[in-house]
Amino acid sequence: MVKINENFLKLEKNYLFIDIAKKINAYKEKNPDKKIIRMGIGDVTLPLAPVVVEAFKKGCDEMGVKETFKGYEDSGAGYDFLKQAVADYYKNNGVELTLNEIRINDGAKSDCGNIIDIFGENVVLLTDPVYPVYANSNIMQGNTIIYANSNEENNFTAMPSDISVVNEEQKGFKEKIVNVVNKIIKPSLIYLCSPNNPTGSVYNKEQLKEWVDYALKNEAIIIFDAAYEAFITDSSLPRSIFEIEGAKKCAIEMCSLSKTAGFTGVRCGYTVIPEELVVKKGDTTIKIADLWSQRQGSKFNGISYPVQCAAAAVFTDLGQKQIKENIAYYQANAKIIADTLTKLNIKFTGGINSPYIWFKCPDNQSSWEFFDRLLNEIQVVGTPGAGFGKNGEGWFRLTAFGDKDLTLEAMERLTSLLS
Ligand code: PLP
């Protein structure tokens, strides 16, 4: 009989968005005339920039002409024209990369999950609350997960000193951790996400340096998710982990054009694996980038040519100007939400260098109690923080990806509900 990967049976089904949809549908059935404003969506709503559409179409046209038609790409890691555009973008932030260090992909989610193919069984550190993809992909791989707490005390920026002791609950499905309950165990893979989904918090350079130093000291590798770097406006904050000294020896970075340029439906991103990132096995030095080339060479055949043309257009001067107009629209929404919460004296993180606003539920309500209250009383939908991990309980996420007028209306409704 066929054997399945039994690690899949350990996945806790995440009902978060299913439960939200159920509650909305039930409410709509009872109240068909009420206008619901959805502020929980993590998807973009503005269309692609005109220069991107133009390049996309041009790429398609070239595919229809014998002389410019493209079949399989040689490496599957992206055409040089796009890798060069990404390298130039990094250079503007003071980070020098070779083209071989840049790998074009179909968005950050795939590589966040797939990257663990090249690693063996590891103890993986996640910050809690967390983007669920990191947890699920590591559970499927049979890795042991430990957590660093992001909470009100550390302003939702978990540091190495916040790594929690292993608790009984974790041991439950981590039968491999024996005799470690109530102890701290050291991770060998560390996932960091900044600007963070769901909390909107951003590591500053000193904080990120602490993580880099920790990883170097413990011979761990950091997987740094920079999917929201384009939302950073404060120039003192790092947009890439490679702005931090030493990071090229201990980090892999994933980024995406999904939120930067509205590519959620187009699909394109990039992973950066520095040449200097190596592991030692006996006398042999193994480059992580080479392992990834082998993995991708066997399981991936690259991104379509027209998509890469569209992606390259994002990095042109005109492309940057046009996508920044869209980002500014979302940032203005984030400010509307943040200003409202400030006026209402509600504690929050994010909203300034991030499209996410993460706030404490008023009146000590739980995340789901507050969700119901917003839906039933003012017909505004957000995302209960409890769905992202234990430290999310009592917190709530709103996103800035919606329509400006609806965001304003939702904040007026919130103000009248709470003041
Ligand atoms: N990383 C984070 C933190 C995200 O929030 C998301 C999407 O919401 C992704 C990665 C996935 O992005 P992509 O569309 O590039 O796969």
Q: Is residue 49 part of a domain?
A: no
Give the model's pLDDT for residue 173: 46
Per the DSSP assignment, residues forming a β-bridge with 356 are: 399
Nearest to 122 by CA among 216, 186, 208: 186
Domain end point (choices 298, 315, 332): 315
Question: Which amino acid residue places its CA nearest to atom 11 of ligand 1?
Answer: 109
Nearest to 303 by CA among 83, 17, 46: 83
CB of 256 closer than 6 angstroms to any ligand 1 atom: yes
Cα separation, 64 vs 238, whole angstroms? 42
User: Do 196 and 288 reside in the same domain of the chain?
Assistant: yes
Domain end point (choices 262, 282, 315): 315
User: Do 180 and 77 reside in the same domain of the chain?
Assistant: yes
User: Do 249 and 336 reside in the same domain of the chain?
Assistant: no
CB of 142 closer than 6 angstroms to any ligand 1 atom: no
Range of the domain at 387: 13-42+319-418
Give the model's pLDDT for residue 177: 57
Q: Is residue 47 part of a domain?
A: no
Cα separation, 54 vs 88, whole angstroms? 21
CB of 193 closer than 6 angstroms to any ligand 1 atom: yes
Give the model's pLDDT for residue 51: 98
User: Do 352 and 277 reside in the same domain of the chain?
Assistant: no
Ligand 1 centre distance from Cα of residue 108 (Å): 5
User: Do 370 and 325 reside in the same domain of the chain?
Assistant: yes
User: Do 164 and 196 reside in the same domain of the chain?
Assistant: yes
List, for residues 277-300, the tens digit of each pLDDT value.
Answer: 999 999 999 999 999 999 999 999
CB of 397 closer than 6 angstroms to any ligand 1 atom: no
Task: Find tokens 């996945």 and name the residue.
Answer: 11
User: Do 94 and 118 reside in the same domain of the chain?
Assistant: yes
Q: Is residue 285 part of a domain?
A: yes
Please report the atom of ligand 1 found closest to the CA of residue 263. 14
Ligand 1 site-directed mutation target among 133, 203, 229, most atoms within 8 Å of CB? 133
DSSP state, residue 163: B
Q: What is the CATH number of the domain that holds 358?
A: 3.90.1150.10
CB of 407 closer than 6 angstroms to any ligand 1 atom: no
Q: Is residue 217 part of a domain?
A: yes
User: Do 248 and 325 reside in the same domain of the chain?
Assistant: no
- Rounded to two decimals, the pTM is 0.95
Which tokens hold the place of 279? Answer: 């592991």
Taking the chain (419 residues) in runs of 10, the rounded mean pLDDT of each run is: 90 81 94 94 92 98 98 93 98 95 96 94 93 90 90 96 75 55 83 98 98 97 98 97 98 97 97 97 95 96 97 98 97 97 97 96 97 97 94 97 96 96
Q: What is the CATH number of the domain that holds 117?
A: 3.40.640.10
Structural domain count, the chain: 2
User: Do 355 and 307 reside in the same domain of the chain?
Assistant: no
CB of 354 closer than 6 angstroms to any ligand 1 atom: no
Ligand 1 centre distance from Cα of residue 259 (Å): 8
Give the model's pLDDT for residue 165: 73
CB of 114 closer than 6 angstroms to any ligand 1 atom: no
Please report the atom of ligand 1 found closest to the CA of residue 196. 3
Ligand 1 centre distance from Cα of residue 109 (Å): 5
User: Do 352 and 262 reside in the same domain of the chain?
Assistant: no
Q: Is residue 130 part of a domain?
A: yes
CB of 269 closer than 6 angstroms to any ligand 1 atom: yes
Cα separation, 133 vs 79, whole angstroms? 28
Q: What are phi and psi of 351, to 5 degrees?
A: 85, -20
Q: Give per-residue burial for 185-207: e unless 16+ CB within 10 Å, then b.
A: eebbbbbbbbbbbbbbbbbeeeb
Domain end point (choices 315, 349, 383): 315
Q: Is residue 263 part of a domain?
A: yes
User: Do 369 and 292 reside in the same domain of the chain?
Assistant: no
Which tokens hold the place of 377? Answer: 């009383």
Give the model's pLDDT for residue 172: 47
Task: Find tokens 């950066």 and name the residue.
Answer: 272
CB of 195 closer than 6 angstroms to any ligand 1 atom: no
Cα separation, 169 vs 370, whole angstroms? 27
Give the model's pLDDT for residue 191: 97
Give the model's pLDDT for residue 303: 96
Q: Is residue 117 part of a domain?
A: yes
CB of 271 closer than 6 angstroms to any ligand 1 atom: no
Cα separation, 243 vs 94, whole angstroms? 7
